[in-house]
């Protein structure tokens, strides 16, 4: 079994659809992905995906591809949070957050993690940013607990697709014992 950082670098270099920019961010990428996949596979957390409005297309792309049968792996618990909660962006008080957390704790007794992709100042980012188990792909903010991108980057959409490709390959590699996300 290959060490996770080395596996990540090798995968980026070998996959012609993933650009070298991601290798430059490997020290930012690997701890975040490792933590997320550990919670998903070892702690049985469900992953609740949220995006800002400009990235709704990407959320649909993830949902349509994360459990593709052609991957030959078990289906994993990834959900579009809007499929059961359509007013997520109207959260504006600590009481609202507490009520949402109560509902999610009942709905996902093994735990859940947010996967947020979008602008850091978007209303939909509020709960994921204050939750300790979040997997954040944030735009226009430098945060140590997030993968940071710029919304003005002309290649942003391509980078998101490449990141998802690497993430999806990582899920398969961990499930099939090609690498481990444990330290």
Name the more confident of 82 and 77. 77
Task: Name residue 50's beta-bridge partners.
Answer: 116
The reported pLDDT for the residue numbered 1 is 52
On average, the pLDDT of the chain sits at: 93
The architecture in CATH of the region 2-180 reads: 3-Layer(aba) Sandwich (3.40)
Structure confidence at residue 90 (pLDDT) = 76
Banded model confidence at residue 183, pLDDT cuts 50, 70, 90: low
Q: What is the mean pLDDT of residues 70-99?
A: 87
Backbone angles phi, psi at 147, to 5 degrees: -90, 120
Q: How far apart are CA 12 and CA 16, in angstroms?
A: 8
Q: What is the mean pLDDT of residues 130-159?
A: 94
Q: What is the pLDDT of residues 24-77, one digit of tens each?
A: 999 999 999 999 999 999 999 999 999 999 999 999 999 999 999 999 999 999
Determine how β-strand 46-51 pairs with β-strand 146-149: unpaired
Span of 26-35, 110-119, 174-183 with lowest mean pLDDT? 174-183
Report, as an integer, the average pLDDT of 122-131.
90
* Contacting residues for 89 by C-beta, under 8 A, at least 6 apart: 122, 123, 124
């Amino acid at each position: 079994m290959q060490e996770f950082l080395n596996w990540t670098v090798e995968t980026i270099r070998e996959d012609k659809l993933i650009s070298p920019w991601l290798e430059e961010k490997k020290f930012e990428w690997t701890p975040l992905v490792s933590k997320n996949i550990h919670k998903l596979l070892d702690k049985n957390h469900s992953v609740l995906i949220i995006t800002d409005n400009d990235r709704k297309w990407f959320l649909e792309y993830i949902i349509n591809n994360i459990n593709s049968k052609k991957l030959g792996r078990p289906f994993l618990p990834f959900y579009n949070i809007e499929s059961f909660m359509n007013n997520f962006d109207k959260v504006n008080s600590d009481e609202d957050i507490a009520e949402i957390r109560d509902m999610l704790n009942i709905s996902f007794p093994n735990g859940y993690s947010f996967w947020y992709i979008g602008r850091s100042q978007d209303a939909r980012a509020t709960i994921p940013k204050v939750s300790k188990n979040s997997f954040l792909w944030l735009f226009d903010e430098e945060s140590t607990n997030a993968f940071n991108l710029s919304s003005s980057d002309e290649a942003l959409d391509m980078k998101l697709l490449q990141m998802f490709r690497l993430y999806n390959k990582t899920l398969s590699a961990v499930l099939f014992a090609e690498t481990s996300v444990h330290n």
